[in-house]
Structure 1
Amino acid sequence: MSLARAKFVEFKEHDGPIPDAQLDDFWATLSPATIDDMIGQWRGGEFRTGHRMNGALEKAGWFGKTFTSATDVQPLVCLDAQGNKFSNVAMGKGEASLWLEAFRGEVTATMVYDGQPVHDHFKKIDDDTVLGIMNGKGVRDNGRYFYFYLERV
């Protein structure tokens, strides 16, 4: 198991809040994701940091994200009461697209929502796992980012 994978598993299994600084330090060790890296279906989860958004996606039945191409992204794939997947365009205010954007001095794959000023930046933990930082107006919590992860289905 790589060091990055081991650290990810440690964070994922951590029982209690994770300080933002620890996730920032982890982010700094990872390689930027490319658009090609992101194509596919992903199951998502969040890191509990005390951010005001913690728990909101789970309440909405969030499953993950689907990247069909750079211009065809379903950012909020959720599960209905019967366990069927659907793209929650109402919650996401539309769908999304993938771009290469500079964030923290590096160019990385970034998902940009079509209908709201939110950008999800991604870095690779391994070929099947990425760390995400949600950024944008209305998402930051007193300057703090929302941290999440995606695992390839």
Structure 2
Amino acid sequence: MTLDSTARLARIEATRDLQDALALFDELSAVKVAELHGAWKGSGVDTGNAFDGLLEKFGWWGKRFDDADNAHPLVFEDKRGKFNVNPAGLPMGFVVRNAAVLHNGAVATITKRVLRLRRTHEPRARLRMIEYRGVVTGTMSYDALPINDHFRKIDDNTLLGVMDLRGATAPFVFLLRRTGSAGELAWNLR
């Protein structure tokens, strides 16, 4: 990641400025679907969104992209290891409306346990080139939810992502850092 991008991300998180985060996203290069293949460690970018820090409280590890038709949008990790979560049926409206409650430590602990019950080995998203904010770029579309995660390249191993959820008032911004091939992570999933 370039020093300029690192400094801008730090400033964005200090000010929690969504518009600055989207301006950085708009300046970055599009990414092709083939460049997305692999295992990616995720982290939220604090912009004042209801999702800020929430996924991490639940043990979100990141994403895994095997190929264009086999994407795993929600990889979590607990003391037993990494596992893919099936997002179908997750109450996204409830999550958005009740994020403050879900940030509670006790609630997060229970939610982490419930998420393991939703684990799957099947892919639950696909990768496609989709136009977002005027640029065609690599995008992950969830199979069962009205969510598209759009990606732009900070460098070959770092992506800035924007989660576009139908009905949300603002997008959730996050980073992905490549950690290895999808095959390496698939072998370690439990």
1:65–1:76 Cα contact (<8 Å) kept: yes
- Residue equivalent to 1:10: 7
SS in 1 for 2:55: helix
- Residue equivalent to 2:69: 71
SS in 2 for 1:50: coil
- The one-character-per-residue Cα deviations of 1:22-68 (angstroms, maximum 9, x if unpaired) are 11111121110100110000000011111111122112200000000
Query: Quick one: distance in 2 between partners of 1:134 and 1:115?
Result: 15
Matches within 5 A, 1:30-49: 30-49=28-47
Query: Quick one: distance in 1 between partners of 2:139 and 2:31?
Result: 8
- Residue equivalent to 1:121: 150
TM-score norm. by structure 1 comes to 0.87
Query: Quick one: distance in 2 between partners of 1:46 and 1:117?
Result: 20
Select the structure with the greater relative contact order (CA < 8 A; seq sep ≥ 6): 2
TM-score norm. by structure 2 comes to 0.71
- Residue equivalent to 1:53: 51
2:40–2:177 Cα contact (<8 Å) kept: yes
Structure 2: runs of 5 or more not aligned: 89-122, 180-190
- Residue equivalent to 2:18: 20
- Residue equivalent to 1:149: 175
In the TM superposition, residue 10 of structure 1 has moved relative to its aligned partner by 2.4
User: Which is strand-richer, 1 or 2?
Assistant: 1
2:18–2:48 Cα contact (<8 Å) kept: no
Larger Rg: 2
* Cα distance change of structure 1 residues 7 and 46 upon mapping to structure 2, 3 Å threshold: farther
2:31–2:151 Cα contact (<8 Å) kept: yes
- Residue equivalent to 1:105: 134
User: Which is helix-richer, 1 or 2?
Assistant: 2
Structure 1: runs of 5 or more not aligned: none
2:37–2:65 Cα contact (<8 Å) kept: yes
Paired AA for residue 155 in structure 2 = D
- The one-character-per-residue Cα deviations of 1:68-94 (angstroms, maximum 9, x if unpaired) are 001111111000233x000011xx227
2:152–2:160 Cα contact (<8 Å) kept: yes
Query: Quick one: distance in 1 between partners of 2:5 and 2:52?
Result: 18
Query: Quick one: distance in 2 between partners of 1:114 and 1:5?
Result: 34
Paired AA for residue 148 in structure 1 = F
In the TM superposition, residue 136 of structure 1 has moved relative to its aligned partner by 2.1
Share of identical aligned residues, percent? 35
RMSD between aligned residues: 1.7
SS in 1 for 2:14: coil
- Residue equivalent to 2:124: 95
- Residue equivalent to 1:86: 83
